[in-house]
Amino acid sequence: MLKKTVKVDNRLRYRIELDHDLCQGHSVCIAEAPALFSLNESNASYDQIQLITSEIDEEQSEAAFRAQKYCPNGVIRVLPIEDS
């Protein structure tokens, strides 16, 4: 079974959606995109991922997609912002 790979489209802007239920605080996301994510000490079983900023600027898009790809739990979804 092959892992999904998503290509960055430079014409688009992206936002991030997190599925907190699934996060176990492995911190792979932080290693990939320290400008986007941090861990929040939580009272639950695991420390929880937190978004530093909801806006991803262009230079951060690649890093955001890498975090999505390598998070072992599928917590992170990078989605294009629909033009309004």
Partner 1 sequence: MTDSLQWFNLLEQNRRKVIPMSGANQIPQVSGADPSIGHLEEFNSDPLLFLQRVHKECGEIGEFDLAGLGTILLVGSEAHEAVFRANEEQLSAAQAYQMMIPVFGEGIQYGAPPHIERQQLKIQIQGLKHDRMLNYAGIVEHETTLLIKQLGKKGTIDVNQIFSDLTLKTSTHCLLGAELRSELNDEFSTLYKDLENGIAPSSLSDPFEKNERLTKCIRARKRLEELIGDHVDRRRTKGKIYEDMLQVYMDSKYEDGTPLNKAEITGMVIWFMFAGHHTSANTTAWTLLEVVKNPAYLSKLLEEIDQVFLKFPTVTVESLRELLLLDGFIRESLRLHPPLNAITRRVMSDFQYKEFTIPTGKNIMICPYVSHKLEKSFPKPLSFNPERPSPKDNFSEIAFGGGRHKCIGNGFAILQVKTILATLLKQYTFNLSELPEKYGEAMPALILRPKDPCELTYVKKDGQGR
User: Which one of 2, 54, 59, 84 is in contact with partner 1 (CB under 8 A)?
Assistant: 2
Q: How far apart are CA 81 and CA 28, in angstroms?
A: 24
Point out which residues pair with 18 in neighbouring strands.
Answer: 76
By CB under 6 A, the count of residues binding ligand SF4 is 12
* Segment 2 to 21, residues that bind ligand SF4, using CB under 6 A: none
Q: Does 60 bind partner 1 (CB under 8 A)?
A: no
Burial of 78 from C-beta contacts in 10 A (0-12 / 13-18 / 19+) = buried
User: Which one of 8, 26, 60, 62 is in contact with partner 1 (CB under 8 A)?
Assistant: 26
**Nearest-approach distance from CB 77 to ligand SF4, in angstroms:** 11
Question: Could you tell me if 76 and 20 are in contact, meaning their C-beta atoms sit under 8 angstroms apart?
Answer: no
Q: Name the one range near ligand SF4 by CB under 6 A: 4-12, 57-65, 67-75.
A: 67-75
Q: State which amino acid sits at residue 44.
A: A
